[in-house]
Amino acid sequence: MTQLVAGVDSSTQSCKVTIRDAATGAVVREGRAAHPDGTSVDPRHWWDALGTAVADAGGLTDVGAVAIAGQQHGMVALDADGRVVRDALLWNDVRSADAAAQMVEEIGRESWVARTGLVPVASFTGTKLRWLRDAEPDNAGRVAAVALPHDWLSWRLRGYGPADESPLGPDLDALATDASDASGTAYWDPVRREYDPDLFELALGRPMRVAGAEPTADTVVVPRVVAHDEAMGTLAVDVTLPHGAAAPAGLVVGAGLGDNAGAALGLGLAPGDIAVSLGTSGTVFGVTATEVLDPSGTVAGFADGTGSRLPIVTTLNAARVLEVIGGLLGVDHAALGELALQAPAGADGLVLVPYFVGERTPNRPDATASLLGMTPGTTDRPHLARAAVEGMLCALADGLAAVEGTGVTVSRLLLIGGAARNDAVRTVAAQVFGRDVLIPEPGEYVASGAARQAAWASTGALPSWDIATTTVPADPHPEVLEQYRAAAR
């Protein structure tokens, strides 16, 4: 009998659910729902969207296991009654930039890297807790637990939450997470694979307690970390999701993952594989068995979803760049790509430094975008379209160079995300990266990785699912990256 598993991708923009054959990975059905815009969001919208997406995917009544992958770093603060204290600050909310700088100054970059594998910037959960402590002390005083988006959704799915909204009530000790998501908090050590209580207290100003440990006065609960191949638990009761969707008793709920670890698992990345993901934001990430330390803070040494490391570089501006410039030119992504291919590599010196919403890598939260090299010959639609595509990819090429600089070997480069479906983006990627670029078949790889993990938790074995790829041959144009780097200094 075919066993079905479900994977959820709760991203910044939307919730996607994929239901697959556990043995083959074949997609049986899918569903999705939108999330609201903004960098500060009431988590209730994620719960509503999960119910809508599950219903759109035909429900979970015939599914044996589910796992949720979610956007990382978001600060979900809960009170003692399991209610959200304030809107969650998302990874792309930069109001905690000053808090991050203060925290780095207090113990030093080298200490942060040694203890957490990263240097705090505005994206990370710990810096948001520091901001909460300083900007909203009354709210900070109400906090009884801190979770991440996928932790909170998994907790709700398992039947927990405010007493009047859930069958099992506000049991904060039932909160759980996984290593990949915990490693993006700035208070978890990916080497010792445990929380760093001193860093949590440095952030919020109050001591932490891991869920399930003996309660002590004034402590704040953080989710226990579940092994990647284990389950958070099995539903003891039927759970009704928003909009009538149901999660039946007996459903196994996997540990879940951070979104990039989910994509890595969905792609089946092995050491030597690096993925460049082009969503609204951009990421460069891979899998390695060795420790990743970058005192510059450019590369974060996260955990992946298999027990290895996930070196990662993140930019705030990726497909967003194409949306902004496409909107200016009055064209969609496809037409923007056609325009871009009408201009030569390097756009005759026109360079777009695409910091439209500030930037995380490099750490310039207050930066704005700039356009350089405008002449009568370059100030036209094709050159601007070309500069947009090149600016987006050059920023990520710098990220790839930083990952290689930590000693990670790059044998294969995969390009994923919505923007990777654009022919111009593929062509320019082979020029900017200067190597063969593999394009996996279109798919929801974060949700797919969550589904693979669900199968792992349910059956005890990680399934192998085949993925077809096409190759765009290398066409090196080093001058494109050189002129971008000169402009972005």
Q: How far apart are CA 420 and CA 34, in angstroms?
A: 21
Computed on alpha carbons and rounded to an integer, the radius of gyration of the chain in Å comes to 22
Mean pLDDT of 342-359: 96
Sort strands 224-226 and 176-178 into parallel, antiparallel or unpaired.
parallel
What count of Cα atoms within 13 Å lies in the side-chain half-sphere of residue 300?
35
The first and second tokens of residue 98, run together, are 């000053």
Q: Tell the residue number behind the tokens 């988590």, with chain if given.
A: 43
The whole-model pTM stands at 0.93
> How much is the pLDDT for 360?
86
Question: How many residues can be counted in the chain?
Answer: 489
The band of 403, judged by pLDDT with boundaries at 50, 70 and 90, is very high
Burial class (CB in 10 A: 0-12, 13-18, 19+), 142: middle
Q: How far apart are CA 260 and CA 311, in angstroms?
A: 10
Mean pLDDT of 184-193: 93
Is the per-residue pLDDT at 1 higher than 60? no
Tens of pLDDT, residues 430-449: 999 999 999 999 889 999 99
159: left (phi over 0), alpha (psi -120 to 50) or beta: left
User: Please, what is the Cα angle at 40 between 37 and 42, to 5 degrees?
Assistant: 90
> How much is the pLDDT for 2?
67
The band of 138, judged by pLDDT with boundaries at 50, 70 and 90, is very high
Burial class (CB in 10 A: 0-12, 13-18, 19+), 426: middle
> How much is the pLDDT for 158?
97
Mean pLDDT of 68-72: 97
Q: Which amino acid is at 47?
A: W
Query: Catalytic residue at 259?
Result: yes
Which residue among 87, 151, 178, 259 is the active-site one? 259
Q: How far apart are CA 277 and CA 263, in angstroms?
A: 9
Asked if residue 21 lies in contact with residue 2, where contact means CB atoms within 8 angstroms, the answer is yes
Is the per-residue pLDDT at 382 higher than 90? yes
Asked if residue 301 lies in contact with residue 308, where contact means CB atoms within 8 angstroms, the answer is no
Tens of pLDDT, residues 110-136: 999 999 999 999 999 999 999 999 999
Chain mean pLDDT for the chain: 95
Burial class (CB in 10 A: 0-12, 13-18, 19+), 29: middle
